[in-house]
A and B are shown apart, each in its own frame.
Chain A
Amino acid sequence: MLNFRKIKDKLFLTFIFFGAFIALFPLFHIIFTLIIKGMPVIISRGTMFFTGTLSQGGIGPAIVGTFILAFLSSLIGIPIAFLVGLYIYEYPDSKVSEFVRGLLQIMLEFPTILVGVFVMDILVIPMGTYSALAGAFALAIIMMPYVSVYTAEAMRNIPYTYREASFSLGLNCFKTAFRILVPIAKRGIFTGILIAIAKVAGETAPLLFTAGGLYEIYPHGISAPVGAIPLLIYTLIQSPSSTDHATAWGASLVLLLVFIGVFIPIRLSLKEVKL
């Protein structure tokens, strides 16, 4: 009997260590594979890989496209999301706040392809063309919940006495929020913004029917189609050509490095991040 329990205990420990290992192993394998397959491509093509067009073996337009999309979507999404975050912080007990918090949680988990199809219907079809604007709008919808949740969270972590002190000096809600609380919470808010940007820079599905893709020339306007690194990878994987596959591996390595480069510093500066 005692022996049986001991065996069970050993089995349990094996399961824990093995399970934890298997849960994380894919990450190492992915990084390893991307370096093995992507590095030679980048090295052999040199700077051309970062500046050239697709037929020259480069992903220049896609890199620029990703930056344009990240910038535009931030421009659209962050102000709105920031104000929503302020609202939930400022009126935490109201019914509206509770509802909006639920809505943001749903948006966090929402299938991103549905956002893309929605934006195609409301922007791409009326405009008659794929555009950077449509892609950025889709990404803005996806980034908003992150920014709102982080803003509200960062503000909530400020001790209540700061608020009371500000009120006692005669400042109103508006001034208290913008002059006192936001500057204190700016680090947390900034973290949320960076995480949201890192997230949308890697998104593919919402761009499928909105951004359009543009890899042979550099982007030339926000109402014209634009490419993005993830979208380019998706297109290239489906191509039968092995040159395209090589480019896809190189682009994936670039995407991975950009993501890790943005994410790890944020993550290290924080105790816990919820994605």
Chain B
Amino acid sequence: MKRLETLKVLTSPAVIFVFILFVYMLFVYISMSIPVFQWEGLDIYLKNIWHASENPSEEYYGLAAAIWGSVYTSVIAVFIALPLSIAYSIFVNDYAPARIKNLVIILSDVMAGLPTIIYGIWGAFVLVPFLREWVMLPLYRELSYVPFFSYPPVSGYSYLSAGILLGIMVTPFASAIIREAYGSVPQIYREAAYALGFTKYESTRLIVGLIRPAIISGILLAFGRAIGETVAVSLVIGNTFNISMGLFSPGYTISSLIANQFGNAFIYKHMTSALFAGGLALFVIGTVVNITGLLYLKRWKKNVKF
């Protein structure tokens, strides 16, 4: 009996190390946030203000704009990723010719793994000018009475640019999950649908309905990815403290705020702590969204057996 435990003795420390690392990380974020909570209470999350000052008593920080920007851009990303990843998954499983099927899957996987800075440079120098010229300016000219389009697209760096870039980046993640789930539905369901006289559209809708939990899971995980993404977003969002529904308005996200400000935050008394509070918010939102997504996926894998 004793001898069987050698492996456990060897591997347990590694497991404990990973566990402690995670708990320690959470601990650091909480303990570093405490000073700013003591300084201004919940205002750190509720107000949109960023007042850095050499005089600590004048410092005041509110992350509302960054939180809004993170959520808003991630929601845009999900709205883009949802139809694209479903269309892609159906294409791969039902319509892609056998020869290119594998290629189409590999391309999507390459997109999932591509360094995010490459999306960033492409987004900043190619996507943003394109969107400004061909999407934002026309919409602003013709439809500026619609609240979403009412903000003048001065630079093009905006929620919309960030949301679209994030949408492109997270589509492969959602696709990977939806593609697999869609492919796992046996052909017999489709045959049954055809036998009842369903069209291609109607039978596909039936199958998409069957894999709904997997779709929800894919979308939640995509949202989790989008909200944590840093460098690509910070290059296209404009980095301005703004709370606006206007899609063309520049903004901030929590992660881009940290990326921009953390380097010189130590000059001020409370800024580091304020940024850690932002990190804590990101930590909590990201973990909750991802756990929910993973639970959906687990439930889908456990309960749905065709």
Known: A20-B91, A30-B119, A84-B18. A275 touches B201 (CB 8 A): no
In the bound complex, residues from chain B placing their C-beta under 8 Å from that of A17 are 87, 91, 95
Docked-complex contact B122 and A86, CB < 8 angstroms: no
Checking B8, B21, B175, B176 against A274 with a beta-carbon cut-off of 8 angstroms, the contacting residue is B176
Q: Does B156 sit within 8 A of A, measured CB to CB?
A: no
Chain B contacts with A in 180-216, Cβ cutoff 8 A: 180, 199-202, 204
In the bound complex, residues from chain A placing their C-beta under 8 Å from that of B5 are 173
In the bound complex, residues from chain B placing their C-beta under 8 Å from that of A195 are 113
Known: A16-B91, A203-B115. A87 touches B263 (CB 8 A): no
Docked-complex contact B294 and A111, CB < 8 angstroms: no
Docked-complex contact B115 and A109, CB < 8 angstroms: no
Docked-complex contact B282 and A114, CB < 8 angstroms: yes
Q: Does A198 sit within 8 A of B, measured CB to CB?
A: yes
Closest to B116 in A: A204
Q: Does B255 sit within 8 A of A, measured CB to CB?
A: yes
Of A90, A110, A245, A259, chain B has the most CB atoms within 10 Å of the CB of A110
With both chains docked as a complex, state the minimum distance between the C-beta of B14 and any C-beta of chain A, in angstroms.
4
Q: Does B306 sit within 8 A of A, measured CB to CB?
A: no
Docked-complex contact A105 and B255, CB < 8 angstroms: no
Checking B28, B168, B225, B287 against A118 with a beta-carbon cut-off of 8 angstroms, the contacting residue is B28
Closest to B86 in A: A19
Docked-complex contact B14 and A24, CB < 8 angstroms: no
Residues of B within 8 A of A (CB-CB), count: 92
Contact with A along B76-106 (1 / 0, CB 8 A): 0000000111111011101110000000111
Q: Does B42 sit within 8 A of A, measured CB to CB?
A: no
Docked-complex contact A275 and B122, CB < 8 angstroms: no
Known: A84-B15, A122-B28, A273-B109. A202 touches B114 (CB 8 A): yes
Contact with B along A12-25 (1 / 0, CB 8 A): 11011111101110
Checking B7, B105, B172, B227 against A86 with a beta-carbon cut-off of 8 angstroms, the contacting residue is B7
Checking A18, A91, A114 against B228 with a beta-carbon cut-off of 8 angstroms, the contacting residue is A114
Q: Does A158 sit within 8 A of B, measured CB to CB?
A: no
Docked-complex contact A19 and B83, CB < 8 angstroms: yes
In the bound complex, residues from chain B placing their C-beta under 8 Å from that of A100 are 15, 18-19
Checking A8, A102, A104 against B201 with a beta-carbon cut-off of 8 angstroms, the contacting residue is A8
Q: Does B290 sit within 8 A of A, measured CB to CB?
A: yes
In the complex, A237→B118 CA distance in Å? 11
Closest to B106 in A: A267
Checking B90, B108, B228, B231 against A109 with a beta-carbon cut-off of 8 angstroms, the contacting residue is B228
Docked-complex contact B117 and A174, CB < 8 angstroms: no
Q: Does B46 sit within 8 A of A, measured CB to CB?
A: no
In the bound complex, residues from chain B placing their C-beta under 8 Å from that of A189 are none
With both chains docked as a complex, state the minimum distance between the C-beta of B214 and any C-beta of chain A, in angstroms.
14
Chain A contacts with B in 1-59, Cβ cutoff 8 A: 5-6, 8-9, 11-13, 15-20, 22-24, 26-27, 29-30, 33-34, 37
Closest to B108 in A: A24
Q: Does B112 sit within 8 A of A, measured CB to CB?
A: yes
In the bound complex, residues from chain B placing their C-beta under 8 Å from that of A99 are 19
In the complex, A130→B258 CA distance in Å? 17
With both chains docked as a complex, state the minimum distance between the C-beta of B174 and any C-beta of chain A, in angstroms.
10
Checking A20, A118, A233 against B121 with a beta-carbon cut-off of 8 angstroms, the contacting residue is A233
Checking A86, A103, A111 against B19 with a beta-carbon cut-off of 8 angstroms, the contacting residue is A103
In the bound complex, residues from chain B placing their C-beta under 8 Å from that of A87 are 8, 11-12, 14-15
Given A111-B282, A267-B110, 20 extra CB contacts under 8 A: A19-B86, A23-B87, A34-B118, A79-B14, A100-B19, A103-B19, A105-B294, A106-B287, A106-B291, A111-B227, A111-B255, A115-B25, A144-B18, A172-B6, A203-B115, A205-B231, A256-B114, A259-B113, A259-B115, A272-B105
Across chains A and B, which 7 residue pairs bring their CB atoms closest together, nearest first? Answer: A19-B87, A111-B228, A202-B115, A20-B91, A83-B14, A12-B201, A174-B6
User: What are 17 A-B interface contacts by the 8 Å CB criterion?
Assistant: A8-B199, A9-B199, A13-B201, A19-B91, A20-B84, A37-B125, A84-B14, A87-B8, A110-B286, A113-B282, A117-B262, A118-B25, A122-B28, A173-B7, A203-B115, A204-B116, A272-B180
